[in-house]
Structure 1
Amino acid sequence: MERTVSSELFYEDTAKTAQASLPLRMFANLMLWQRRLSSRHQLARLDARLLADAGISESQRYEELSKPFWR
């Protein structure tokens, strides 16, 4: 005899999992945004010599610094 899972149970479990993981995803996004802000602040403080050592041009730095934190 073969057993199958009711679709109602599947969707109920999926909804519960999605609700439970929402705070984790929000926290992960906040941490990612914080890392981007921090690294862009560090990039802004680099002088021309350090940029050249890292292989980053002034235009690449400007492009990165002009991005919003969510991108």
Structure 2
Amino acid sequence: MYTVELCEAKLKLWLKVEEDIAIGGQSYEVKGRKLTRVDMEEVREQIKLWEVRLSRAKGAEGIRFGKAVIW
């Protein structure tokens, strides 16, 4: 089980990554060394994941279909 605090911290981190990519681009090069950031699609998936985990940690419930729960 994830705590609210952990989920908020992870969500904040991934939102910062998204912002960094939006501002600084996907990759850059300095003195012949290249840095490529995480793919934006992966960042979006992580944001969604931590939003769901945060909702669960705060006690939200998914939509119930019989025994299945859809988040």
* Fold shared by both chains (TM-score > 0.5): no
Q: TM-score range by the shorter chain?
A: 0.3 to 0.5
So what's the TM-score if we normalise by structure 2?
Answer: 0.42
Say which structure is richer in helix: 1
Q: Which has the higher contact order (CA 8 A, sep 6+)?
A: 2
So what's the TM-score if we normalise by structure 1?
Answer: 0.42
